[in-house]
Structure 1
Amino acid sequence: MKKKKMKNDELPLSLIESNILPRLPAKSVGRCMCVCKQWKSFLSTPMFARMHLRHVTINDYNDVVGFYTDSSNDYKLLYLINGARNGAYIYSNRLDSWRKIDFSVGTACSERPQSTLCGKFVYFKASHRWIICFDVKTEKFRKIQCPPVPGGAKSYRRSLVVLHGCIHLCVSYKIIINDI
């Protein structure tokens, strides 16, 4: 006799995302990215990386940009340090170690970098003028110049989003025209 599944038996997604997934070992997080698109999207956010790092080894997690899995299904964490100490590190779950990589793109990251994983690249806003692209296969950085905002724009916002497998830069701005 089949037991009828009751609505009360299911865990709310918010509980899974805030209390269960961040406590998993890195290897399990990499595997959880394959569960569904919603989990992969959530597990690829800087917010999740900060939540996860609260339960692992890094104490200063404000500079973390993102994480990814490489072609060998190794869960890797990309860690950027801003300011005078500018540098980049990659943590490999398979090797259980950190290593420094070249971060000579010539620009510091914004105070709260927003990262977006798209295909084999991690993109993040470095400033209002630059986007940094990290190739997860070659583990190299490159700098991409943002298009200029129209003259007279008083305030603007830029966001990186992935739509249909492609990275997009969305810009919203306000122009104030003074009547003479």
Structure 2
Amino acid sequence: MSTNNLQSCKRKMFLHGQGRQSTSIDDLGLDILVYEILIRLPAKGVGRSKCVCKEWLSLLSTRHFAMMHCRHISTSYNQKFIAIGSRLCSVFPLSCEDSGPLLNSRILLPFEAPWNKVNILTSFEGLLCVCFRNTGKLVIWNPLTRAFKEVSNSNSRGLYKPKSDAIGLYVDKTDDYKLLHIKRRRGRMWVHVYSSMFDSWHKITFANKLRCWRGKPIWSNGTFCKGVLYFLVNCFIENKGVMLFGFDVESERFRLKTFPRFPHAYYDGNLVVVHKELHMFVTHGLPNWTVDLWRMEG
């Protein structure tokens, strides 16, 4: 047998498992099984896997696994968008490669509210922040499980006012999903953070010290990336242009970030996370619009 044929036979034996002992599922190790295999299953597959044994039920029910599973499946080919109509909510797959008809699945809205009064404000890792326009109440909703939590309380925290307020969803290092609510009333601003783990609000006391927050700036909702919740603030009414603020979720402090400079009189930006990096689409050059894509570095 030639040397080349011998090497080819060795490769086939290695690839097909010939010439060595077979490997059982117990030989993989629990970490590999959970974080390399089970984490790749769809949600229904994870639910079925919980019935295998008590150990799997315990591991797959942890907040850490839920967070890791959600982050793993949050890829471009698995993203979806939601359209609310009547009492039904239609879920469409988001695919740029498939030019065929959009097939949707439908789920019932779990909360008692007029469908035409429900606004989806933002999303993060499968969770949605929903506002009821008739009451202003904020709700965190998981469409997959149909679970929801009304976060407003008797102290008027969690009451949202369109065109004045801004919100952002994020997760901290303890895997606690939180909601940041920026509220502006009569020229003053308040910032509160809701913790889903403790089901409570607390106030960010130093927020009003920033002078540039006064007046009537237009705030975007937050975009979370690498431990920072980013907001774009349009202050053209006060001739300050557009500013970029970052809220560090661990220190709970706001900081002004660098915004690209443009020679044109008017420009606007939109934030998006691409491959776990913060990007910004900047529109400028009225009347002949130009759109640039910027990536934050450092």
2: distance between equivalents of 1:147 and 1:85?
28
Alpha-carbon contact 2:160-2:183 (below 8 Å) kept: no
Quick one: structure 1 residues 77 and 168, their matched pair in 2 at CA, closer, same or farther if it must change by over 3 Å?
same
- Confirm whether residue 97 of structure 1 aligns to residue 134 of structure 2: no
Provide the residue aligned with 1:72 in structure 2. 174
Quick one: structure 1 residues 74 and 176, their matched pair in 2 at CA, closer, same or farther if it must change by over 3 Å?
closer
Provide the residue aligned with 1:6 in structure 2. none
Q: 1:154: how far off?
A: 5.4
- Superposed CA RMSD: 3.3
Q: State the aligned residue count.
A: 145
Any idea what the Cα deviations from partners look like across 1:143-167, whole Å, max 9, x if unmatched? 12422222xx354321112222221
2:283 to 162, 166, 172: 172
Q: 1:140: how far off?
A: 1.1
Bigger radius of gyration, 1 or 2? 2
Identify unmatched segments of 5+ residues in structure 2: 1-62, 82-121, 133-137, 140-148, 153-157, 235-240, 289-298
Per the normalisation by structure 1, the TM-score is 0.65
Quick one: structure 1 residues 43 and 175, their matched pair in 2 at CA, closer, same or farther if it must change by over 3 Å?
closer
The structure showing larger relative contact order (alpha-carbon pairs under 8 Å, at least 6 residues apart) is 1
Provide the residue aligned with 1:113 in structure 2. 220
2: distance between equivalents of 1:33 and 1:64?
27
Alpha-carbon contact 2:272-2:278 (below 8 Å) kept: yes
The 5 Å alignment of 1:1-180 reads: 31=66, 34-35=69-70, 36-37=73-74, 43-44=123-124, 48-51=128-131, 53-54=138-139, 56=150, 57=152, 58-60=158-160, 62=162, 63-83=165-185, 84-101=187-204, 102-103=206-207, 104-108=209-213, 110-127=217-234, 128-150=241-263, 153=264, 155-175=266-286
Identify unmatched segments of 5+ residues in structure 1: 1-27
Any idea what the Cα deviations from partners look like across 1:100-157, whole Å, max 9, x if unmatched? 112133322843423211110100112233111011121111012422222xx35432
Per the normalisation by structure 2, the TM-score is 0.42
